Amino acid sequence: MPSPLTEAPQPGLADSAAELDPAILAAIERELKTSVSDVPPALVAHAVAVSKKCGNEAFCAKRFTDACKFYTQAIAGAPGDKNLRSNRSAAYLALGDYEAALSDAIRCVALDQNWPKAHYRLGKALAAMGEWHAAAATLERCARLITGVGLVPASKDTNTVSTAGTADTTGSTAGSSTDEPTGSTFNEPSTQTDSTIDTKTLEGVLELLAIAKCESEDARSRLGAHETGRRKDLASRLREARRADDREATLARWRQTMSGPEWDVDENEWRPTFPPNARAKKVDPSAFDFDNRRGGALAHARTLAELAAPKNALAGLDDTGRLAVYARGVKRMVLEKQSEVASKQTGKTEEGVEKQSESFGESEEKKYLLEGSLSEHQRPATPPVGTQPVVTLCISGGGPGVLPLIAAAAGSAAVFSVERGRFSFRATKGVVKFNETAGRVPKGVIKTLDRPVTTIDLAEDMENKKANCVVTDLLDRAGGLGMGVLRALDTCASRGLLTKDVAVVPKRLKTFAQLLQIRIENVAGFDLRQLNAYRWHPQTARFSPDREPHVVVSSRFEVFDLDLQARVRGKAVEAREREAKGDFQKKETEEGTENSGSKNSASPWDSDATLKIPITADGVWNAVVFWFECDMGGGDVLRSAPPPGVKGESGAQPDAGKQIFTGTSWGLAAQYLDETFVRCGDVVSLRCMRDDNQIYFQSTPPASIPRRAAIPMWHYDMLNDHGRNAAYDACIKNAVRKYKGVGNSNGNPGNIRHLSVIDAGSGSGLLAMMAARAGADSVTAIERSAHMTDAGEEIVCVNGFAGRIHCLHRDVRHVFTADTPGLPFNGAMRPDGVVTEMQHKAQMMVYEIFDSGLIGEGALHVLAYARERLLKENSILVPAKATVFAQLIEMRHGVVAVECGTGGGVDSETNKETNQETNQDANKDANEDTNKDTDNKDTKDSSTMCFDFSHCNRWRWRDEYEGINLEACKETWRPLSEVVPVFDFDFYDVTAQTLRPESKALKFPVHTDGTCNAVAFWFVMEVGVDEFGVTQTLSTSPHDGTKGQTWQQAVQYFEEFDVVGSGGDKSQSGGDDKSHGDYVPRGDDSAPQKSDSVPITASHDTYGIRFDIDDGLFPERATRRDPRRHAPSHDPVWGAALARAKQLDGAMNKILTQNPLEYRAVAETAVAVGARPQDLGFEAEQGGDFCLRLMG
């Protein structure tokens, strides 16, 4: 074995020397009087080993400065030793010299990239420096290296992890921690195939990795929040600059006209504010009595609500679950009351006789019993002589005439019906008379009262007949209280209209709720979370789980439980006691004073409780979704909607012996709150308050954000329409790439053309961002709504497009460019003295300004003005063209068969199918002879009630089309004719010169017998071509199942008339052939009849499409109307009132648009109505709609 002093020089020392500056190395060699190459390798190895040992001892003794010196000496002799670099990195880290520790860790990883401890040292150093993202990535690599083979016990004595890579096995113990130095011999190879790392090391790595990931995510969130805040600040400054431009534009117009109005320019910028606690503070109605503007606005809003009430109530006629459970409940109540009265009569006690005569005098009862105008089966079940017949008071809020008809058919001796308003009264009175004439209910039993419930007089209105049964459907989606059901019941009881043992349907009212996240976040790759600040409602919004993305973050919980029957009976007893004492009128006056506000001024809530709600899922809680359940008696339960996250639960039995009926006319209610981040396992506090008119939820801490703008809910539906978004994105991307020549520039950037784009009606800026992302150099987003412009500009900035997208608060038809011919000062100024908004014309325009009828939002006018002033020749349009299609339909109410058997319950779906089949049979019977006695018609099944609601169809009419989602309610209508193309709109052909009204004569071949009362029309739009050459189309047809959430179908109503069909193939219609009317073809069934081809003139005035039947070419129409079955187009009294209201509405809109002072007065009134509608004589939904109309 050779002597160590004669061994060849080791490369390690030479490598260390090579790292020094040559001058320094020369000085060292002169001082030592020797050359580096002359130093014996064994001596160097010995020095390295001694230095390393001393360093390890110093490290263990926590003398980290000495440890660094010794490790440095050792590294000088062995610069390629990864263990020394790792140990010195640990020592530097302990001293707080993070940069030096990082440098050694980096060198350690470079020496061996597969050594886990090297990555661990690097991760520790990065974490110490706050570089959490890099630290997490490094530690994850370390963990993967450690666990690459798996956690396997090495022996029975020690638990170790076998891993690939290298590690020092000398000079260190198996139990050393990850921060302890590792020993090594100088001659040890730099890599080894087998090594062991203890579980303590692995635990340390995983623990630090978890911390690093958490900190990395927090750092990312902080960075994102900081960047979002910076961009929001930019949006705020841009908004201020835009408003300054608007102020200057207004002043320029005043200067040009040399006149100024009575208000200051700043008044134009005022916007109404809805305070966060507005619903908790009562409103004094007298404050509006002496202000003509505010008082006039209230009166006009009440008129509009009254006019809309009958049509809104028609939804109850299509709600089969609601009809069935009310029929069952009322029939059961009447039978029980008759049985109860009969059992009391059997005792013949003096008290019983007194009770029986309480509401019916002997002479009145005898008169009723001797009335001989009805046949035996028509007369309600006759109670025993001397008993009290059943008197039912109906407080209606649903379908016109439903409750009184059911009560009369169930056997009530007298029925009094109270309606919500004068036109609801007219609707109910007409329906009752129509069914009395047809013999479906006894004549003279139902009396419809033409006054509100607060003014009903027992003697004058109810003929001194106290009601022993009360039935009400005065319920809305807001927990059932928003229409004033509690006030109505309390008033009836307090005014002495009810007996003290009165039966009530529904008996109980329960409200349940869940906490939800209802937010919009990422749409087509863009961050649209800023829109959540505009998602709110002054009362409660209707929530559709199948249309709105949401996360359920809690289980359902009970909000309150009201025993309506016990409440009413208690107040009826109090009223009888007051009546006996003779102070009834005095007490009633006192109660009226209390209800006006003095009683509730200190404590406005009848119920106020704070609930602790466990959170079941991570999310952002911003809404309370709630619904009600009514106990209808006999185990039947009617609920307003299925709970969120529950599909197809109809017919389920959550409790033994109960049957669930799910209504379709209400839906879920959502109250929006300030956003709160929650995690699974948290418990949040929710304050639940209730008075006679509303349910109000308050988070902890309470909401603090005032609302100054409202974006309509249809805008969120549009953003959630993924099919629409994808079609627009694909076509915009292809159009931009094609114009700019991307892919065809031959590598020369100069060949790529500049592209400027206009987004007309930009809204939240989605299409503008699509164009910018696709490569457009500049985009001008034009939106006429101030709220939407603010929201769109903020979204554009947050998504990083502020430099390329310019937001304008303008009507497209009032925007000019410097290139527009004829402008003064070479195009620098508009005709009204305002600076032009755009410097040059654009080469492309994207737009989505279409309603259900395609052109109702002025799309043709926007196109014509834009092509004249804003677009260059041969510009690109997305979309390109559209075709309108139409079809005659039957969408009306006829004979409705209501299953009222008191046997097993049915759910809404089952009940719907049952009633559709029963309705077909009833309709056939109805048309055999509408005046025939009911012996063999409606009484064929004692568990079925049949009523004719044809009279209600007159309340459906409007003088212009309306949007209806026919695809979602196919059971309420059926197609009668072929689908006919109406208009083809090629948007490239629309110019200022070609824009003119158009009309076209059409023929609609009828294929199905029925009663035609409407035409439905829709469109198929060609958006453009995508990058694969596929034409992208969007269809709003109700038949093909491809319609998204954005649009509905347009429906225009006609005066009803019968049509004769061919009886041929109806598969193309897309509808079923279930009967919804009561038409039977005239004449001999055996004789062949020629099918109709209805001549209709379709026209448009460039703003909307209209259809008119050509009576000159279709004289049969006059003979196809049967006054016994067909309602006129509308009620004449209602029509006259509607005409006056529309005239006033148009005048008010003009004033509010031109005068900000008038707008301020009316908008402040609307805020008060939206916050406390019942205080000002409105229902909850009516008040909320009025508020949103003014704030939107």
| CA-angle at 565, arms to 564 and 568, nearest 5° | 85
| Average pLDDT estimate for 649-665 | 68
Summarize the confidence of residues 231-258 as an average pLDDT.
Answer: 84
Q: Greater confidence, 694 or 655? A: 694
Least confident of 2-6, 52-56, 344-348: 2-6
- In this predicted structure, the answer to whether residue 53 has a pLDDT above a threshold of 80 is yes
Mean pLDDT of 87-114: 91
CA dihedral 770, 772, 778, 781 (to 10 degrees): 30
Q: Which residue has the higher pLDDT, 728 or 181?
A: 728
**Cα gap 426→417, rounded to integer Å:** 12
Q: What is the pLDDT of residues 621-650, one digit of tens each?
A: 999 999 999 999 999 999 999 999 776 544
pLDDT at 1052 over 90: yes
pLDDT of residue 32: 56
Phi and psi at residue 1096, to the nearest 5° = -135, 140
**Least confident among 141-150, 364-373, 767-776, 1059-1068:** 364-373
First to last CA, the chain: 97
Q: Give yes or no for a contact between 334 and 469, defined as CB atoms under 8 angstroms apart.
A: yes
Res. 222 pLDDT band, cuts 50 70 90: confident
Whether the predicted pLDDT of 380 surpasses 50: no
Q: What was the pLDDT predicted at 566?
A: 95
pLDDT attached to residue 934: 37
The pTM of the full predicted model, rounded to 2 decimals, is 0.81
Burial (CB count within 10 angstroms: exposed 0-12, middle 13-18, buried 19+), residue 315: middle
Query: Distance between CA atoms of 988 and 483, rounded to whole angstroms?
Result: 50
CA angle, corner 129, sides to 125 and 134, nearest 5?
Answer: 70
- Could you report the per-residue pLDDT of 274-318, keeping only the tens digit for each? 999 899 989 999 888 888 889 999 999 999 999 999 999 999 999
What is the model's pLDDT at position 236?
Answer: 87
pLDDT (0 to 100) of residue 551: 95
Mean pLDDT along residues 978-997? 95
Work out the percent of the chain whose per-residue pLDDT is above 70: 79
Peptide bond into 1156 cis (omega under 30): no
The mean pLDDT value for 720-747 works out to 85
Q: Which of 696-710, 811-825, 1075-1089 has the lowest mean pLDDT?
A: 1075-1089
Quickly count: other Cβ atoms within 10 Å of residue 685's Cβ. Answer: 12
Quote the tokens at residue 494.
């307090």
Cis peptide bond N-terminal to 701, omega within 30: yes
pLDDT of 163 > 50? The answer is no
Look at residue 915 and tell me whether its pLDDT is greater than 50.
no
Total length of the chain: 1192
Report residue 753's pLDDT band, with 50, 70 and 90 as the boundaries: confident
The residue ranking higher by pLDDT, 388 or 915, is 388
Tell me whether strands 526-527 and 522-523 are parallel, antiparallel or unpaired. Answer: antiparallel
pLDDT, the chain, mean? 82
pLDDT of residue 686 exceeding 70, the answer is yes
* Residue with the two structure tokens 């009396």: 447
Give CA separation, 424 vs 149, 318, 430, 949, in Å.
Answer: 79, 17, 10, 14
Given a cut of 70, is residue 856 above it in pLDDT? yes
509-549 pLDDT tens trace: 999 999 999 999 999 999 999 999 999 999 999 999 988 99
Only one residue has tokens 């009862």, namely 365
- Whether residue 34 is predicted with pLDDT greater than 80 in this model: the reply is no
Instruction: Give residue-wise pLDDT tens across range 354-378.
Output: 444 444 444 444 343 333 334 343 4
Q: Say what the pLDDT of residue 176 is.
A: 39
Beta strands in 879-979 (DSSP E): 881-890, 895-899, 944-948, 962-964, 974-975
**Residue 235: its pLDDT value, please?**
87
Query: Does residue 612 surpass a pLDDT of 60?
Result: yes
129-138, 410-419, 577-586, 768-777: which has the minimum mean pLDDT? Answer: 577-586
**pLDDT > 90: percent of the chain:** 53
**pLDDT tens-digit series, residues 588-599:** 444 444 444 434
- Look at 330 and 232; give whichever has higher pLDDT: 330
DSSP assigned state of 76: H
pLDDT(745) > 70: no
What pLDDT was estimated at residue 942? 60
Could you tell me how far CA 83 lies from the centroid of its own chain?
61
- 889 forms beta bridges with 975, 1014
| Segment holding 60, helix H or strand E | helix 41-60
* Cα 963 from chain centroid (whole Å): 18
**Does 912 score more than 60 pLDDT?**
no
Average pLDDT over residues 401-406: 95
Q: Which residue has the higher pLDDT, 386 or 1106?
A: 1106
Please write down the HEC assignment for all residues of 726-774.
HHHHHHHHHHHHHHHCCCCCCCCHHHCCCCEEEEECCCCCHHHHHHHHH
Candidate ranges 195-199, 225-229, 572-576, 1171-1175; pick with highest mean pLDDT? 1171-1175
Query: Is residue 585 predicted with pLDDT exceeding 80?
Result: no
Instruction: Assess whether pLDDT exceeds 90 at residue 1036.
Output: yes
pLDDT of residue 597: 42
User: Is the pLDDT assigned to residue 156 strictly greater than 60?
Assistant: no
